[in-house]
Amino acid sequence: MTETIINLETVNPIEFFGVNNGKLDILKKKFPLLKILSRGTQLKLSGSPEQVENAREKIDLIINYLERNGHLSENYYEQILGGDDQEVIDNFAERHPNEVLVFGPNGKTVRARTANQKKLALAADKNDIVFAIGPAGTGKTYTAVALAVRALKNKAVKKIILTRPAVEAGESLGFLPGDLKEKIDPYLRPLYDALDDMIPADKLGYYMSTRVIEIAPLAYMRGRTLDNAFIILDEAQNATDLQIKMFLTRIGANAKAIITGDLTQIDLPKNQKSGLYKASRILKNIDGIAQIELDEEDVVRHKLVKAIIKAYDRDKDNDNHTHPNQ
């Protein structure tokens, strides 16, 4: 007779045991010859050495999966427990860590869904600064936010800072109702929407109130040093040269930054040039800075968005040497 105690402190006990111990019941049915007891964040196995070792290997695989992803469906739970061949083990081991970026509320899976989104995830792992440039709908912002949330969940950083230049896109900021925050929030709404998909509402509210997650206009970054943070500058095509330089020089120790933008949708006044164009050009060959270009093949919105982007591309002026903002 062998006994072993497995510590579950690194995972959510409800995710491991299931609602009303539904997953624990599955575990007991899979190993009927074992005595399995749960107490708090510990699991005690008693039985023959072979049975205990077999169960231990499967449980370790479940714990490893939950540590990476946060959620495991009952179907996957059963597949892991019932799989004896190497193919099943490999399927749930960390073979493709950048494809599943994070699990959101109710087990929602956030993935790098296209080739260039996967390149963006890999580039963010290997570099401290990444430029992600491409048209609307290619998942630049969404993927970047998922990478930031993953870093926070994995305790690689202590906070997330999301920022955008508050530039008017054909509308007047001054005529919007409310105080300054209420006027600016519509510009930041896409960042809130992405976070809503990845973090439960109560936890997101806590993170926002304690400034673990901060969403602010780009102008608010001036004078700060951003340490131990994952920072995203979104809609960077609407930042001037000086603003992008200011942002990049805020980055402190143990920080990562992703700068996203679409050079075909510049909303700056005609007398101002986009700083993204210059930054992506002059910083391209610096070690530790990567640049990923996304295109219409990465569009994950409505199927017509891809056709719209292609139509506008065909209608561009023949002179490609002028600055995109001229």
> What are 151-206's pLDDT values in tens digits?
998 889 999 999 988 764 433 444 445 555 565 667 678 888 889 989 988 999 99
pTM check: above 0.85: no
pLDDT in 10s for each residue of the chain, 326 residues? 889 999 888 888 888 998 889 999 999 999 999 999 998 888 999 999 999 998 998 898 888 878 766 777 777 788 788 765 555 555 565 544 446 788 777 767 788 877 788 889 999 999 999 999 998 888 899 999 999 999 998 889 999 999 988 764 433 444 445 555 565 667 678 888 889 989 988 999 999 999 999 988 888 888 888 999 999 999 999 999 999 999 999 999 999 999 999 998 888 888 888 999 999 999 988 999 999 999 877 876 666 776 787 788 777 655 455 555 55
The terminus-to-terminus CA distance of the chain in angstroms comes to 79
pLDDT at 322: 56
pLDDT at 83: 62
CATH architecture assignment, domain 2-92: 2-Layer Sandwich (3.30)
Query: How does pLDDT run across 24-61, given as a tens digit for each residue?
Result: 999 999 999 999 999 888 899 999 999 999 899 889 88
The CATH 3.40.50.300 portion of the chain extends over 100-314
**Is residue 246 classed as helix, strand or coil in its secondary structure?**
helix
The CATH 3.30.1370.10 portion of the chain extends over 2-92
Average pLDDT, the chain: 83
**Which superfamily is assigned to 100-314 in CATH?**
P-loop containing nucleotide triphosphate hydrolases (3.40.50.300)
Sign of CA dihedral 209, 128, 132, 166: positive
* Whether the Cβ atoms of residue 298 and residue 133 lie closer than 8 Å to each other: no
Strand partners, 2: 47
Nearest to 199 by CA among 135, 251, 139, 151: 151
Q: Is 50 exposed, middle or buried (0-12, 13-18, 19+ CB in 10 A)?
A: exposed
Cα distance between residue 226 and residue 207, in whole Å:
17
Q: At what angle do helices 74-82 and 22-30 cross, to 10 degrees?
A: 20
Sign of CA dihedral 171, 175, 176, 179: positive
